[in-house]
Chain A
C-alpha cells in the first residue's frame, strides 16, 4: 500500500467555492441514502395496512420529522442539480475554470429556487 502514489492532500490547495459544491455532492448523497430508508419505510408501512401506515404517518407529520423531510427535499434538489453538472462534465462540457464557476453558481441558484417551490407545496398541502 505504501508504494502507491499519493496526490497532494486536499488542504494543500487554496480553498475555492467549487470545492465546497464538490464535497456537498458527497455529503448530500450520503444523506439521501438515509432518506431512502425513510422512503422505503413509508412504502412498507403502506403495504402493512392502515394502522401501521397511520402510526408511521403520525411520526412523519411531527415537527422534527417535517424538518428532516424538508432538509431531505433540499438535499435531493441539490444532488440532482449538481448531478446534472457532473453528467455535463462526463460528456466533456464545462471544464474551463470560468465555466465551472458559472455552472456552480447556476447549481446554487437552481437549488434555492426549486427548493423554495417544493417547500411551498410541501407546507401548503401538508407533507406526504
Chain B
C-alpha cells in the first residue's frame, strides 16, 4: 500500500501537463468577454449611421478604442483556446493535429494583431 495521497498520484499524469492553465484561461477570458460582448453588440446595433465618417468617429471616441482592442484580443484568445480544444478532441493523426494547431495559433495571433492595429490606426488618426 502506497502512502501517497490519491491527489499526489494523479498530479502531473495528464497528457499535456498544462490543462488547468488552459481551463482557467478559457474561463477568465469568458468572464471578461461577457460585458465586452454585450457592449459591442448593443453599440453596433444602436449606431444610428453606418457611413465612414460616423463609424470611424465612433471607433475613435472616448474609451471605445480600449474596449474594441480588448474585445478583439480576448475574443481571439478565447477562440484560440476553444478551437484548440476541439482540434485536440477530434483530430487524431499527430501530423495533421500539430499542423492544424499551429495554423489555429497563427491565424488567431494574426486576427488579434491586425484588429488591434486597425483600432489604433483609426483612434490615433481621429483623436486630438
A residues whose Cβ falls under 8 Å from a Cβ of B:
26, 29-30, 32-33, 36-37, 39-40, 43-44, 46-47, 50, 53-54, 57, 73, 76, 80, 83-84, 86-87, 90, 118, 121-122, 125-128
Contacts and interface: CB of A to CB of B under 8 A. Distances in A.
B111 A47 contact: no
Given A44-B114, A47-B117, A128 B72 contact: no
Given A29-B82, A43-B72, A87 B31 contact: yes
Contact of B86 (A30, A46, A83): A30
B127 to A, nearest CB: 13
Contact of A121 (B27, B37, B45): B45
Nearest to A126: B50
B50 A57 contact: yes
B30 interface: yes
Interface residues of B, number: 33
Contacts of B31: 87
B41 interface: yes
A39 B119 CA distance: 12
A36 B111 CA distance: 8
Interface string B101-128: 0000000000100110111011000000
Given A26-B82, A29-B83, A43-B119, 10 more contacts: A32-B79, A36-B75, A37-B111, A39-B72, A39-B75, A43-B68, A80-B37, A122-B45, A125-B48, A128-B44
A46 B56 CA distance: 6
29 contacts: A26-B82, A29-B79, A29-B86, A33-B82, A36-B111, A39-B72, A40-B111, A40-B118, A43-B59, A43-B72, A43-B118, A44-B115, A44-B118, A46-B56, A47-B119, A47-B122, A53-B56, A73-B41, A76-B37, A80-B37, A80-B38, A83-B34, A87-B27, A87-B31, A121-B45, A122-B45, A125-B47, A127-B50, A128-B55
